[in-house]
A and B are shown apart, each in its own frame.
Chain A
Amino acid sequence: MAHTKLTYPYKLPELGFDYAALEPSIDARTMDIHFNKHHGGYVNKLNAALEGRAELQRHDLVTLLGNLDAVPESIRQAVRNNGGGHLNHFLFWQILKPGGASAPQGELRRAIEGKLGSFDAFKEEFSQAAMNRFGSGWAWLVITAAGELKVISTPNQDAPSMTGDVPLLGLDVWEHAYYLHYQNRRDEYVANFWNVVNWDVVGHFFEQHR
C-alpha cells in the first residue's frame, strides 16, 4: 500500500468498499455524495484546468502541488483547489478502508509515542486540530521533510504536499463530510472517526516514507 503517483488524466479511484461500510460513523448517503459528487467534481475540474497543458500534464500530482509557483497564474488557484481536493480525498478513502488494525502498531506506534507522548495524547492533539479548523479544511498526521511526525491542519483543500509534508492520516472537516448525519456536531463526527481508521494502511504509509 504505497502512496500512488497520480497523473493526468486524473480519475476517480475505486472506492474499494460499500457506501454503507462505515456506518454508523459515516452514513451511506454522505459517502455516496462525498465520493461521487465532491471528489468527482474535483477530478473533473482538475482535468479541465490542465487540458491542453502538456508541460503540466507530465508531472505527477504531488510534484505539481509542491511547485504551484510554476503553474501559470490563470489556472494556479484551480489546480491548487481541485488538485488538493483530489489528492486529499484519494488518501482519505484509503485510510477509511474497512479492516486492518484499530490502533497504530509496531514502528508507527513507537514513533507516535516517542514524538507525541501516547496514542491518546496524539488523538487529543489531532482532534483539537480538526475542531479548531475554522471554516473548511483538514486535520493531518504528517511526516515533515525533516522526518518528524507532526499534527497539522490545512484550510480548504490545501494539501500537506504543498509544504513538503507527507500525509499519513487525514480527516476531512469540510461540512459536506459530516453535515447530513451530524449537522453542527463536528465534535461527534471527529470522535467517531477513530472507530473507522484503518491503521494498517496508515502504518504502510509510515513504513514507506520514514
Chain B
Amino acid sequence: MAVELPDLLFASDALEPHISARTLEFHHGKHHKAYVDNANKLIADTRFENMPLENVIRQTAGDEARVGIFNNAAQAWNHAFYWQCLKPGGGGAPTGAIADKIEAEFGGYEQMMDEFKKAGATQFGSGWAWLVLEEGNVLRVHKTANADCPLVYGCKPLLTVDVWEHAYYLDYQNRRPDYLAVFVEKLINWEFVNAEFRQ
C-alpha cells in the first residue's frame, strides 16, 4: 500500500505562538511530504510495495542495502505519529490511565517529563525522544538517532517529540530546551497518548 501523507488535524497556525505556521508548513508540507514521496519511490516494484508501513520499517531496519527505504519509511511513520501527539491547548499534567501509569513507574509526571526533556536535549544531532511501552508493559523514555524508531525494538510508542533542527529552528534556533519545555507544557495531546496506551 502506498505510504500516505496524513493531513494535520489542526490548522497550520493553530499551535502558535509555540510552533509557528511557517515551521508547520515546511515540516509537514516539505519534510514529511519528501519522506513519503521518497519512500513510495523506493518501495515501488519491490516486495515492500504492498506491505503495511510498520512492517517495512521492521524489515528494513539494520539492512545496509535498504537504508534509504528504512530512513524514508521510518521518517514517514515518525512524523505521522508526531502530528498526533500535538494539539492546540494541550500539554501540562496528564489525565486518565496514562497518568496513573506514569505515577506508578516514574513517581510522578514531573519526573517523567524531566527524563523526557533530557532525552530530547541530549540526542546529539538529529533524532527523536519517546515515551514507550517496552515488552512486559514497562513504561520508559527512549531517544533515537535520525530516523530510528522504537517499533524496531519491539516497543509501542506512546508519545514523541521531533528534535531534528527543522522541527524548531525557525522558532527557537539553537534553543532546543525551550522548544522541549513548550512541547511538554503547551502541546502534548494526552487524549492521543491515552488512546495509544489503552490499545
Q: Does A57 contact B (CB under 8 A)?
A: no
Q: How many A-B residue pairs have CB under 8 A?
A: 55
Could you tell me if B165 and A180 are in contact, using CB atoms closer than 8 angstroms? no
Chain A residues numbered 35-53 whose CB sits less than 8 Å from any CB in chain B: 37-38, 41
Please name the residue on chain B nearest to A155 by beta carbon.
B125
Q: For A137, list chain B residues within 8 Å (CB).
A: 125
Contact of B166 among A77, A134, A175 (CB under 8 A): A175
A158 to chain B, nearest CB (A): 10
Contact with A along B73-93 (1 / 0, CB 8 A): 000000000000000000000
Could you tell me if B169 and A180 are in contact, using CB atoms closer than 8 angstroms? yes
Could you tell me if A183 and B30 are in contact, using CB atoms closer than 8 angstroms? yes
For chain B, the count of residues having a C-beta within 8 Å of the partner chain is 20
Q: Does B147 contact A (CB under 8 A)?
A: yes
Could you tell me if B146 and A176 are in contact, using CB atoms closer than 8 angstroms? no
In angstroms, Cα B127 to Cα A155, docked, is 13
Could you tell me if A135 and B170 are in contact, using CB atoms closer than 8 angstroms? no
Contact of A37 among B146, B166, B174 (CB under 8 A): B174
Could you tell me if B31 and A184 are in contact, using CB atoms closer than 8 angstroms? yes
Contact of B165 among A156, A157, A179 (CB under 8 A): A179
Please name the residue on chain B nearest to A80 by beta carbon.
B124
Q: Does A81 contact B (CB under 8 A)?
A: yes
In angstroms, Cα B113 to Cα A187, docked, is 37
Contacts known (A156-B124, A156-B125, A184-B26); A179 close to B170, Cβ less than 8 A: yes
Q: For B147, list chain A residues within 8 Å (CB).
A: 134-135
Could you tell me if A176 and B126 are in contact, using CB atoms closer than 8 angstroms? no
A126 to chain B, nearest CB (A): 20
Q: Does A174 contact B (CB under 8 A)?
A: yes
Contact of A33 among B126, B127, B174 (CB under 8 A): B174
Could you tell me if B145 and A135 are in contact, using CB atoms closer than 8 angstroms? yes
Could you tell me if A176 and B174 are in contact, using CB atoms closer than 8 angstroms? yes
Q: Does B173 contact A (CB under 8 A)?
A: yes
Could you tell me if A135 and B125 are in contact, using CB atoms closer than 8 angstroms? yes
Could you tell me if A180 and B173 are in contact, using CB atoms closer than 8 angstroms? yes
Q: Does A136 contact B (CB under 8 A)?
A: yes
A103 to chain B, nearest CB (A): 31
Please name the residue on chain B nearest to A179 by beta carbon.
B169
Contact with A along B113-134 (1 / 0, CB 8 A): 0000000000011110000000
Can you list 21 A-B contacts (CB < 8 A)?
A37-B173, A37-B174, A38-B174, A134-B67, A134-B147, A135-B125, A135-B126, A135-B127, A135-B145, A136-B126, A137-B125, A174-B125, A175-B165, A176-B165, A176-B169, A179-B166, A179-B170, A183-B26, A183-B30, A184-B26, A184-B34
